[in-house]
Chain A
Amino acid sequence: MLQADWNPQGGFSFKNCQRNAFLESSLKGLRVPHARKTGTTIAGLVFQDGVILGADTRATNDSVVADKNCEKIHFIAPNIYCCGAGVAADAEMTTQMMASNMELHALSTGRKPRVVTVTRMLRQMLFRYCGTCVGELKQFWKIWEGGRERECLGWGWKINGWEARARGKWAGWGNREVGRRNDEISPHSYQGHIGASLIVGGVDITGPLLYSVHPHGSYSRLLFTALGSGQEAAISVLEDRFKPNMTLEEGQQLIVEAVTAGILDDLGSGSNVDMCVITQAGAKIQRAVSTPAVISKRQGKYRYPKGTTAVMKETVTPLALEMIEETVQTMEVE
């Protein structure tokens, strides 16, 4: 179909957005497919020789475990690794693109890649796709049937003229009817469109560095950090027991404890703890360093012996079958 200024470009295509919005609004019982989130605990810390990154290995799809042993520590450069939380596909594609970009950059500059370069590229890309949050504070109403009574659900953000996302559910404002009821609306629930929070750690020419990057493009440079749904549990362990310039064993122990705290206290994290130790000499990944939660064995036998239930009546009905066709196929027996 010819368009006046048809200039095919790559990148994101928004062709189906209107159709999706229309489908969602018009078909009441439709459950829109959600992106699979990692529901993670990722943690990182700096020790005396380098950086240690740790992550759990569970990927969830709403409330079902989608992958029991997924890899959340991604390779970016031989001396830089990155843990990804948030939407699994976004984290994966983002880190793969960063790895490719770092390789191209290293080839064209002739120098080894640096952690700050990775962080800057990530920030710029995430900010580009975060969407401008020029918003107005609006009141969210629910119109009861009949249109007479209005109940104020609270205050929320109306961003760019679009219905603000409140706690993951779409709401309306003003006179429009709210599809679902929202109890609390917070401006922070509007995620950047690329929903990936990342912990970037590595050792380069300037020393060991650890950065945490958030989905909207903000970042911070820290000595220890945790992200993901289990971040509160992990951060509390790290805050309690972190000391600067720890040895390798202490650092490994602390990371395992932090991620284990996330696994045990958060439903979105689970299975094993993966760990990556990066030093000047190189990086070493260990999968399944520890498994805090083991699937328990069944306690008893649940089969009943024959005759537990009394048989009252027995009838036998023979089926009248007639042979229609008979074929014989010889098997090759060696």
Chain B
Amino acid sequence: MNTRGLGSQLKDSISVSELSASSPFGNHDILRRGFSCVKNELLPSHPLELSEKNFQLNQDKMNFSTLRNIQGLYAPLKLQMEFKAVKQVQRLPFLQSSNLSLDILRGSDESIGFEDILNDPSQSEIMGEPHMMMEYKLGLL
């Protein structure tokens, strides 16, 4: 369970896929990802990529700090506890969850943005490999 605060979750680079590779050349799917190049993974390929990755976190940070200034420490603390409780998705890792409670808590169930129209995860054509994802989640991998 991730207990780090919001600030340290901000990403300033694009993540490299970390899996234990059995060989230096293994586990890199050239067909799907192209040739491996560290520079490609460290630098964003589009000016908006980083800002979009961090957007939700930044919004939450801003909202929580405003709430703390207005209503004191307890309000954001309780809300963050509810967020964490709701983020513990009960489904198996490769199954898509609608995150309905999270949306309600955030207030985004009453607005439509590009996240709802484009690239809807429930309609994505790729699915993670179920066995590998379960093994990873259980720490067996």
Residues on A lying within 8 angstroms of B by beta carbon are: 1-6, 8-14, 17-19, 21, 93, 97, 100-101, 104-105, 108, 125, 128-129, 131-132, 159-160, 162, 193
Contact = CB atoms under 8 A, between A and B. Distances in A.
Interface in B88-109: 96
Contacts of A100: 112
B140 to A, nearest CB: 13
Contact of B15 (A4, A21, A125, A159): A4
Interface in B105-129: 110-121, 124, 126, 128-129
A13 B119 contact: yes
B70 interface: no
A167 B132 CA distance: 49
Interface of B: 15, 17-19, 29, 32-34, 40, 44-49, 51-52, 55, 96, 110-121, 124, 126, 128-129, 132-133, 136
Contact of B52 (A5, A11, A159): A11
A11 B118 contact: yes
A249 to B, nearest CB: 39
Contacts of B114: 10-12, 97
A97 B52 CA distance: 18
Given A2-B136, A125-B113, A11 B48 contact: no
Given A4-B17, A10-B115, 7 more contacts: A5-B15, A8-B96, A9-B115, A12-B114, A14-B52, A19-B34, A101-B111
B119 A12 contact: yes
Given A11-B118, A14-B46, A162-B47, A1 B113 contact: no
A2 B29 CA distance: 10
Of A2, A8, A14, A108, the most chain B CB neighbours within 10 A belong to A2
Given A131-B47, A159-B47, A162-B47, A3 B17 contact: yes
Contact of A14 (B17, B48, B113, B115): B48
A2 B128 contact: yes
Contact of B45 (A9, A21, A104, A108): A21
B15 A13 contact: no
7 contacts: A8-B96, A12-B48, A12-B118, A14-B46, A97-B112, A105-B110, A131-B51
Contacts of B29: 1
A5 B18 CA distance: 9
A298 B63 CA distance: 66
A17 B45 contact: yes
A21 B45 CA distance: 8
Contacts of B132: 2
B111 A93 contact: no
Contacts of A97: 112-114, 117
Contacts of B136: 2
B71 to A, nearest CB: 22
Contact of B17 (A2, A21, A93, A132): A2
A2 to B, nearest CB: 5
Given A5-B15, A14-B48, A17-B49, A93 B124 contact: no
A193 to B, nearest CB: 6
A101 B109 CA distance: 11
Contacts of A125: 113
A19 B17 CA distance: 18
Nearest to A129: B48
Contacts of A18: 40, 45
A6 B133 CA distance: 10
A131 B47 CA distance: 6
Contacts of B46: 14, 17
A131 B15 contact: no
B48 A3 contact: no
A104 B48 contact: no
A192 B33 CA distance: 29
Contacts of A21: 45
